[in-house]
Amino acid sequence: MGKSGILYVVGTGPGSSELMTLGAVRTLQKCPVIFYPVTQSKSGQQKSRALETVKDAVDLGKKILLPLEFSMRKNDSLVYEDAKEKCLAFLREGKDCAFVTIGDPSVFSTAGKFASMICGAGFGAKFLAGIPSFCQAAASASTVLCQAEEDLHIICGDEWFFDGRLTKELSSLDGGTKVIMKMNKSLIQILLLTVELGIEEKCLLVQNASMEDERIIYGKDFAAFAEILLADESFGKESGRYFSVLICRG
State the residues that interact with a second copy by CB under 8 A. 11, 13, 16-23, 25-26, 57, 104-113, 115, 119, 125-132, 135-136, 138-140, 142-156, 159-160, 176, 182
CB of 16 to a second copy, least distance (A): 8
20/226 with CB nearer a second copy: 20
The nearer residue to a second copy, 83 or 137, going by C-beta atoms, is 137
Give the Cβ contact number of residue 75 at 10 Å.
Answer: 9
Q: Which is nearer to a second copy, 130 or 219 (CB)?
A: 130
Whole-number Å distance between alpha carbons of 17 and 21: 9
* Angular region, 108: left φ>0, alpha ψ -120 to 50, beta rest: left
Cα-based angle 196, 197, 199 (whole degrees, multiple of 5): 115
Q: Kindly tell me which of 128 and 187 has the beta carbon lying closer to a second copy.
A: 128
Provide the residue count of the chain. Answer: 250
Q: How many CA atoms lie within 13 A of 13 on its CB side?
A: 22
Least distance from C-beta 129 to a second copy, angstroms? 4
* In the complex, least distance from residue 159 CB atom to a second copy, rounded to whole angstroms: 5
Position 107, amino acid:
V
CA 174 vs CA 115, 151, 169: distances in Å: 38, 9, 9
Q: How far is the CB of 71 from a second copy (least distance, A)?
A: 17
**Of residues 11 and 37, the one with the C-beta less far from a second copy:** 11
Exposure string for 86-122, b = 16+ CB within 10 A, e = fewer? bbbebbeeebbbbbbbbbbbebbbbbeebbebbeeee
CB 10 within 8 A of CB 35: no
Q: How far is the CB of 20 from a second copy (least distance, A)?
A: 6
Q: Which is nearer to a second copy, 125 or 226 (CB)?
A: 125
Q: How far is the CB of 53 from a second copy (least distance, A)?
A: 11
